[in-house]
């Protein structure tokens, strides 16, 4: 073998080695990038779905609190259909026929959250169908707490409602959430979730802010300090103020 051939062979080997190294590095980046994006998309969809459930409860609040009516017809099936329709309107995703491009994690978890939400509405049927009773405390916040808890108990993903001044101490934010909420409170209203990777990029924290609407102010508005219908002092909030957030926590290593 000539000197030229040896040189040629070593160049080919070097090229192949570099190619292999590049391929391995690229695929490893791609592998870690995919679950991150998947987790972020899933967190956003989960927060949207919980918020849609809250919205459907809020839209039916007058019906739910109607003391003259017994059977309200607000069944789990009616609720589910309304949620599916509103979720489709907001995201163009049909929860009944999940599109193939949706991350597998979202495909796995969205039906679980929908089912958990439905079960909360099923559990509350006895309460909301009482005739002669007006306010029953079945409101977006209590619905959200229960649906989130049921969901979190069934999956490795944690979801909860948080606020800086919680009426329910279980909605107290942790240190990370508190920092983000404080930051959000000083910023203009935005529906964009705040996402961050912590624990050596292994845990996703995603906070989707919730703002007070006009309907919320009956209990959370003014006069500040005066007890609302549920017995809690009003916060003195104004329309558009930060009410809290939906916090989603996904660990990537466990989600795969």
- Asked if residue 116 binds another protein (CB under 8 A), the reply is no
Site string for another protein, 3-42 (x = CB under 8 A): ----------------------------------------
Task: Write down the least CB distance from residue 67 to another protein, Å.
Answer: 8
- Asked if residue 165 binds another protein (CB under 8 A), the reply is no
* Per-residue DSSP letter, 70: S
Question: For the chain, what's the residue count?
Answer: 256
Six token digits for residue 38: 């998947």
Of 131 and 165, nearer to another protein (C-beta) is 131
Among candidate residues 211, 204, 230, the one with its CA nearest the CA of residue 219: 230
Of 115 and 129, nearer to another protein (C-beta) is 129
Show the CA angle centred on residue 241, arms to residues 63 and 235, nearest 5°. Answer: 70
CA distance 187 to 100: 36
Of 68 and 92, nearer to another protein (C-beta) is 68
Pairing relation of β-strands 203-211 and 242-251? antiparallel
Size of the site for another protein (CB under 8 A): 31
Owner of token pair 């929908």: 114
Q: Within positions 47 to 86, which residues make up the interface with another protein, using CB under 8 A?
A: 68, 70-71
Residue partners of 152: CB distance under 8 A and separation at least 6: 158, 159, 160
- Asked if residue 231 binds another protein (CB under 8 A), the reply is yes
The shares of helix, strand and coil residues in the chain, as percent rounded to the nearest 5, are 55, 10, 35
Q: Within positions 117 to 156, which residues make up the interface with another protein, using CB under 8 A?
A: 123-133, 135-138, 141-143, 145-146
Task: Write down the least CB distance from residue 168 to another protein, Å.
Answer: 4
Of 7 and 218, nearer to another protein (C-beta) is 218
Chain residues in the site for another protein (CB under 8 A): 68, 70-71, 123-133, 135-138, 141-143, 145-146, 168, 170-171, 227, 229-232
């Amino acid at each position: 073998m000539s000197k030229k051939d040896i040189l040629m062979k070593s160049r080919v080997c070097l090229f192949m080695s570099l190619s292999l190294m590049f391929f391995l590095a690229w695929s490893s980046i791609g592998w870690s990038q995919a679950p991150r994006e998947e987790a972020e998309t899933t967190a956003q969809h989960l927060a949207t779905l919980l918020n849609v459930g809250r919205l459907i409860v809020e839209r039916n609040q007058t019906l739910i609190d109607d003391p003259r009516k017994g059977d309200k017809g607000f069944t789990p099936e009616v609720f589910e259909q309304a949620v599916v329709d509103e979720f489709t309107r907001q995201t163009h995703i049909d929860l009944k026929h999940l599109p193939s491009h949706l991350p597998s994690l979202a495909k796995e978890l969205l039906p679980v959250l929908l089912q958990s939400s439905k079960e909360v509405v099923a559990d509350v049927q006895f309460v909301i169908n009482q005739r002669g009773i007006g306010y029953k405390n079945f409101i977006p916040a209590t619905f959200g707490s229960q649906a989130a808890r049921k969901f979190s108990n069934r999956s490795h993903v944690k979801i909860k409602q948080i606020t800086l001044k919680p009426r329910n101490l279980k909605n107290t934010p942790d240190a990370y959430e508190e920092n983000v909420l404080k930051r959000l409170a000083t910023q203009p209203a935005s529906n964009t979730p705040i996402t961050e990777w912590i624990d050596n990029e292994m845990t996703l924290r995603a906070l989707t802010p919730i703002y007070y609407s006009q309907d919320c102010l009956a209990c959370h508005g003014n006069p500040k300090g005066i007890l609302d219908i549920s017995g809690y002092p009003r916060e003195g909030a104004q329309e558009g103020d930060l009410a809290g957030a939906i916090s989603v926590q996904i660990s990537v290593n466990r989600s795969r």
